[in-house]
Chain A
Amino acid sequence: MTLPAASQPADAYAQLKSEFGSMTAASFQGRMAEYVASGTPIVAGTDDFFPELFTAMEVPFYFVVRQGLELAFHVGKGPEAVDGYNELGGSSSLCSLQKAAAYLLMKGRLPKPSAIVMTSTSCDGQTAVNEMMANYAPWSDVPKMSFDASFEKDEASMEYLGKQWMRFIPLVEKATGRKFDLDRLKEVCEESNRQTRLLFDFQELRRAVPSPVRAEWGFLAYMAARWSGCGRPLATAWLQRLFDTTERRVRDGKGIDGVEEKIRYAWFDILPCWSDQLFPRLERELGAVNLMDLYGYSAPWPVIDTSTLETIFTSFAKRFLIGNPMTRQIFALSTVYGGDAVHIAKNFKCDAILMPSHVGHKDGAASHRVVHDLFREIGVPFLVVGCDVFDERYMTSDVVFNKIEAFFDTSGLRR
């Protein structure tokens, strides 16, 4: 559908947002309560390792940490879950999102799955939640498989992980009663390939000066392709419309509505749950536009090779280890993290890089000195904030704003 140029942006994006809401509501995650009520077998995982498999088998799947978002932070109950976790005596250094997930687990608020898949990841908090899930007494009868991801990123390492993951298929079949069909998985993977291509094409449009859309669209696009609509044609069509609408905006030289872009920066971590308290204010008061966040950008997603079951699972391993932004950057040498940051700074013409240094991201925090040195080499100002991107009580959005404002002032970027 071609919209008249004058009415295009606001109308088109409002429509896209509304459709995204409907897509999420119809997704496995959105229908979780319905599955629990009907006794439909569910699989739980500790990351989005291979959502294509669950789409192909029509097996409802949830990603444990995302439950912390959906059942706690997104419904205003994050602080309650974090405090509840602290009262249980858990480690204070855990990421708040993981605290919420752990609390929901221990309080019996996570849907009991029929099978659990776990894999070592970049997130130490996730590893702690893995252990809790594996040893949670009410789930002791749930079959679980835990896999080992290699720190190396060569072909042999990808095959090593892919071969392990393939062993999960018979377990899912047995635990859920659903039959695995390789041809159906291939179809879903082809659709997923189209989605990740569109996802990357869309993210790159934000290189344009001025930036055509807010950074939140990057995260929504990621969610559509990887979480809500992975392998489903409806999500592909949505991503295509998002791309087309945004490309027209770039061609017309239009920036974010109502914002005069003066400073371009990247928020090099997960977008905060309190984004709406911070980013619009930075735009409005300083003309500072966020171009990028951890999930709003990634390296090009490896294409799933659908030749055989083995190549499909090796491709899943590649996607997890070098596509998934967090694993790619943190489950690697510090210079990979820094190298990606440098690429983003240069390719997106960033005037500055903000490292939120989320309290839970200890591996990332350990790399800050290296990244700081790299940015000094390329002459891009760099600020470490030190906030909690989930629990605003740790550092309020006002304090974060003040830090950023002072940083822009002292760096001579405010104009």
Chain B
Amino acid sequence: MNVLDAYLERVYALVEEMRERAALVRVYQAPGIPGTGDLPGASDALARLTEGLPIRVGPGASPGLILRSDTFLELGSPEAGSCSLLLATDTTRLVHDGRVTLVGPEVGESAGGSLPFGQVLMLRGAGLGEKDLDELQRLLVVAGQIEGYMVRSAPGNVWSRVSQEAAAKGFSFATLGRALRALVMSGSPAVEAVEVLFVTSGKADLVPLEAAAQQVRKIAREGTRERWKVKGYDIDCANDCSACGDKPVCDDIRSVLKERQHIDESPGGTHAT
């Protein structure tokens, strides 16, 4: 049992809750594409995984900048709300490879708009778990790898733009889900299955996702710390005074300064003169 499995189950439960609240839920399935293990190289894997998409995916697919005036739809701006969650497990039953679930409006239904955006990527692979999240997250730095799609933000959330040109070509959340799946699977041979959830229905629907994301970030941090420790690095610094070996020295200095201030402020002290 992976520590993140509870959060995968929580995500599925949240989708069911949204469905019961009559939110529009659409489920897409990527064409039956097996894992990439039998493919000779990452670029071939990428080509196979993106076959039939209306846009290009991979290095150099996009200049990386979509101007406001060329934007068809903005997702996850600070005003609209954003939440991003990455989960990894080795439990087979929990990740349905190629499935893309959308809760809320589609790209084509939102011309010129700005939608809240929740993005959950659920990955499966042998031995995958919380220790791998930080490394896997770097595969999701889209930069210029998806034509007509620009992610604006730094790690932690997703604030993105879909270009007018891409929308005209038929860019949808099914496209985006497949593109992200392709980038992750071609970037890491350890990933055997990818399922994606997008939420564009409303800011309120992001709240429970964000609560889960905050917990996962804490778990991921511990995983990252452990992973780097194996490499010989201590990536944290103990800013907490109680954890510092020099605390007695600082305490002494503070008491001397306090005493000094008391002397300075007393009649005849430095300050009084």
Residues of A within 8 A of B (CB): 120, 131, 135, 137-138, 140, 151, 154-155, 197, 200-201, 204-205, 207-209, 247, 250-251, 299-303, 322, 331, 333-336, 339-340, 342-343, 346-347, 349, 363, 366-367, 369-370, 373-374, 377-378
Contact = CB atoms under 8 A, between A and B. Distances in A.
Interface stretch (B3-11, B120-128, B147-155): B147-155
B177 to A, nearest CB: 21
Contact of B138 (A151, A197, A209, A339): A339
B260 A135 contact: yes
Which residue, A140, A247, A363, has most C-beta atoms of chain B within 10 A?
Answer: A140
Contacts of A201: 68
A140 B65 contact: no
Contacts of A208: 63, 65
B134 A335 contact: yes
A303 B157 CA distance: 14
Contact of B78 (A300, A331, A363, A367): A300
Given A208-B65, A333-B236, A347 B143 contact: yes
B20 interface: no
Interface string B151-177: 111111101000000000000000000
Contacts of B224: 333, 335
Contacts of B153: 299-300
A339 B155 contact: yes
Nearest to A203: B152
Given A303-B78, A340-B155, A347 B141 contact: yes
* Secondary structure class of chain B's binding surface, majority of residues: loop
Which residue, B141, B236, B270, has most C-beta atoms of chain A within 10 A?
Answer: B141
Give 8 nearest A-B pairs by CB, closest first.
Answer: A299-B154, A346-B143, A334-B235, A303-B78, A207-B65, A137-B271, A346-B141, A151-B239
A200 B159 CA distance: 12
A335 B237 contact: no
Interface string B195-237: 0000000000000000000100110010011001001010111
B115 to A, nearest CB: 16
A205 B64 CA distance: 10
B67 interface: yes
